[in-house]
Amino acid sequence: MTGIGIHEDNVPIVAYSLHIEVGVGFPCLDQAKMAATMAAMKGPVAVEDVNVTFEDQQKINKFARNTSRMTELKNEIEAKKKSLQNLQDASDDLMMFDDDALLIPYQIGDVFISHTQEETQEMLEAAKEKLEQEVKALEGRVSAIQQVLGDLKVQLYAKFGNNINLEADES
């Protein structure tokens, strides 16, 4: 009998006679130790006898890689949205200045270059547009990965049923 799951590091694991869930993993595949540990954690678990083929393992690995990549992309999107909000705040603060002759320092790399209020506003708008495009591109990639994950879930749940848990652990 075989149970399949994803380790907390998104590394697929195969365990015998067990139901493994996302976030629960064991460093070894010693059947007796794992069965005793699982019994202590959850009590008896009924598992169907399902053969895990190389193709199945490849699908599980692909699911884990895509889940990890999607998490990275979501973190990157959040960072870009924070930068976008900072640019918006700077633009709003800049509009509050009444003195048009005032030169505003604008950072380019490690250097600050002074520009007029109008030039600085234009540079901020260009930077915001660029970040918005990057966020849209990243969101498109996340959407594509979600589609792949959905297809893999259907295939894996169809074969393994309750013996596999591909849902993210929210703890």
Contact 9, 24 (CB under 8 A): no
Q: Closest Cα to residue 24, out of 44, 53, 3?
A: 3
Q: Which residues pair with 4 in a beta bridge?
A: 14, 164
Tell me the pTM: 0.65
Q: Is 20 exposed, middle or buried (0-12, 13-18, 19+ CB in 10 A)?
A: buried
Q: pLDDT (tens digit, 0 to 9) for every residue of the chain, 171 residues total?
A: 444 555 455 544 444 333 333 433 333 344 444 444 444 444 444 555 778 899 999 999 999 999 999 999 999 999 999 999 999 999 998 888 877 778 888 888 899 999 988 899 999 999 999 999 999 999 999 999 999 999 999 999 999 888 888 887 664
Neighbouring C-beta atoms of residue 14, cutoff 10 Å: 15
Beta-carbon contacts of 87 under 8 Å, excluding residues fewer than 6 positions away, are 124, 127, 128, 131
CA 168/CA 6 separation, integer angstroms = 9
List pLDDT tens digits, range 19-37: 333 433 333 344 444 444 4
